[in-house]
């Protein structure tokens, strides 16, 4: 069965509301003909609601960059799944390496977030990937498998089928150093095999995204690999022409 093509843009801590609205206006224009690829943007919290409103008449979907797993309470600064759903999100990132490295996300808390996202009616885009030190120590497969297992451990069969997974080697994020297509495919293949062990039918349809310095000019080769179904894009998603170029590289 053909897998869904999927390109998501992670805007990180960039774009005021006005800037975010200008970007989605341009994306809507540039991507109006794209039908065969799920396109997702992940603005910062402050822009989620206005961006979701502006995209109501478009097929582009909205993701949050992070959500807490509790539903309410004394958790200053945190935002829960039901709030994100109400703001117009379809997806949420979970376990991005910047959350793991800078904000104390753990294997256990990422698994709780994945589960809580589904409970809130959101689809998690679950991010996993090794650091440069781990790659140099030949620990890539072990680390990525451990992160993957922690993320899917709490899921029932129905939720498992819907998850989206992004393999993002930490050494390639925001560095301009992109994994070679062979390096990326090798890890994606391992991830797909591990998903097969849980549910073969689901494993064939779960979108596996590559992330790490994807640009319009390297997207086609990366996305041409057998187990790479799309991309999670940081820097190049902040400019409408360059993000649209990546979507077009995937959708043709």
Residue 44 binding ligand PEP, by CB under 6 A:
no
Contact flag: residue 174 with ligand PEP (CB under 6 A): yes
Q: Indicate whether 214 belongs to the interface with ligand PEP (CB under 6 A).
A: yes
Q: State the maximum Cα–Cα separation within the chain, in Å, rounded to a whole number.
A: 48
Q: Which of 240, 232, 127 is nearest to 250 (CA)?
A: 232
Catalytic-role residue among 96, 98, 105, 130: 96
Our CB check for ligand PEP shows the closer of 118 and 171 to be: 171
185 sits in which H/E element = helix 181-198
Pairs from 71-80 (Cβ < 8 Å, separation ≥ 24) = 71/116, 71/120, 79/45, 80/116, 80/120
Is residue 66 a contact residue for ligand PEP (CB under 6 A)? no
Of the residues 38, 66, 105, 168, which is catalytic? 168
The β-bridge relationship of strands 5-10 and 208-211 is unpaired
Tokens of 39: 């396109």
Surface-to-core class of residue 231, CB atoms within 10 Å of its CB (0-12 exposed, 13-18 middle, 19+ buried): buried
Cβ distance 214 to 231 under 8 Å? yes
Binding of residue 211 to ligand PEP (CB under 6 A): yes
What distance lies between CA 143 and its chain's CA centroid?
A: 18
Query: Exactly one of 38, 130, 134, 168 binds ligand PEP (CB under 6 A); which one?
Result: 168
Is position 212 an interface residue for ligand PEP (rule: CB under 6 A)? yes
* Residue 188 annotated among the catalytic residues of the structure: no
User: For ligand PEP, which is the closer residue by CB, 98 or 227?
Assistant: 98
| Residue with nearest beta carbon to ligand PEP | 234
- Contact call for residue 187 and ligand PEP (CB under 6 A): no
Q: Considering the complex, state which of residue 82 and residue 245 has its C-beta at the smaller distance from ligand PEP.
A: 245
Q: Does 206 bind ligand PEP (CB under 6 A)?
A: no
Residues engaged in binding ligand PEP (CB under 6 A) = 10, 168, 173-174, 211-214, 232-236
């Amino acid at each position: 069965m053909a897998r869904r093509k999927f390109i998501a843009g992670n805007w990180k801590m960039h774009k005021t509301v006005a800037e975010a609205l200008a970007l989605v206006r341009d994306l809507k224009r540039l991507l109006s003909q794209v039908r065969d690829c799920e396109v997702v943007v992940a603005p910062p919290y402050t822009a989620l609601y206005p961006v979701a409103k502006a995209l109501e008449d478009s097929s582009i979907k909205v993701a949050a960059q992070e959500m807490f797993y509790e539903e309410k309470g004394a958790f200053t600064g945190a935002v829960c799944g039901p709030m994100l759903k109400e703001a117009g999100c379809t997806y949420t990132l979970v376990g991005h390496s910047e959350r793991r490295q800078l904000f104390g996300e753990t294997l256990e808390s990422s698994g709780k977030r994945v589960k809580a996202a589904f409970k809130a009616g959101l689809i998690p885009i679950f991010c996993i990937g090794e650091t440069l030190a781990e790659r140099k120590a030949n620990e890539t497969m072990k680390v990525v498998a451990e992160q993957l297992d922690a993320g899917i451990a709490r899921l029932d069969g129905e939720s498992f089928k819907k998850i989206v997974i992004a393999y993002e080697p930490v050494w390639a994020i925001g560095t301009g150093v992109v994994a070679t297509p062979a390096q990326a495919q090798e890890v994606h293949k391992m991830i797909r095999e591990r998903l097969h062990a849980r549910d073969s039918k689901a494993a064939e349809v779960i979108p596996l995204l590559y992330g790490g310095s994807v640009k319009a000019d390297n997207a086609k080769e990366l996305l041409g690999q057998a187990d790479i179904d799309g991309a999670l894009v940081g820097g190049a998603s902040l400019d409408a022409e360059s993000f649209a170029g990546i979507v077009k590289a995937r959708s043709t």
